Amino acid sequence: MATPPSNESLTRNDADAPFAPIDLADSDEPQMVRLPVGLIDPDPDQPRHVLGDFTDLALSIRQHGLLNPIIVEATTGGRYRILAGERRFAACRSLGMDTLTCIVRTVEEQSRLALQLIENMHRKDLSPVEEAHGLRRLMEEFNLTQREMARQVGKSVASVNQTLRLLDLDPALLATVQTSESVSKSVLLEVAKEPDSQRQRELWEQAQQGELTVRKARAAKSRSNDSKALAATISLPDARVAVRVLGGDLTNERITEILRAAITKVTGEQG
């Protein structure tokens, strides 16, 4: 493996250094090389869709150099695709740097997507919804269970499950939520648990205004459940049964309990 350049060499002066094409045919080991910016392409399938403001990052790179090399893979025609480091790449390009120190890796498609997702999650570069879309994509494309997905990205199964739950948000909200940085993931999760789309939008508006906490969201959902009623009429050849439940948490278990109590009452009165 080539010796990593010093921090001093990772500045704009990299443009003066020669570029030597590299041959990865006989090596599965990552290689540290310097590549022309013009040969590096962002990945269109990158889980992170919004780069955000990288002004501070660009200032840091200008002052200290590129401390963390960009990870790329060779594609075709002598070009390279970014596996990890989209924001660093954008910041370096904004500084007018012509060459960048990169780590070239050879990876399978599943490993590539997992690597991008993991790097962005650890750097907190993804919004919660972008993270959820990334997890869902990996699971669907490679037929992974939540447990397998959790192992891939180093998260607990519960954490993966909660993140995926964010995709229960109303589709009309997802685009807005995806770019928002003002609402915490825990509050978003409570909004996603609300089954009614209109109610989700109302909670989201409260969250954007800073008026919604996890506790308030749960309390609002509880009041909503209390206001609901279940009414059903079951017609049989020789009888008709009418059931009306006024409020409460109407889970399947609770409904079953109520019906059993009604049956017990009817059979008891007849006995």
Q: Which residues are catalytic?
A: 86
The percent helix, strand, coil of the chain (3-state, each to 5) is 50, 15, 35
Sign of CA dihedral 88, 94, 100, 106: positive
- CA–chain centroid gap for 41, Å, is 23
C-beta of residue 102 within 8 angstroms of C-beta of residue 34: yes
Measured CA to CA, the distance from residue 107 to residue 28 in angstroms comes to: 9
Other CB atoms closer than 10 Å to residue 155's CB: what's the count? 19
Query: How many C-beta atoms surround the C-beta of residue 19 within 10 A?
Result: 13
Give the C-alpha separation, 257 to 252, whole Å: 9
> What gap in Å lies between CA 60 and CA 31, rounded to an integer?
25
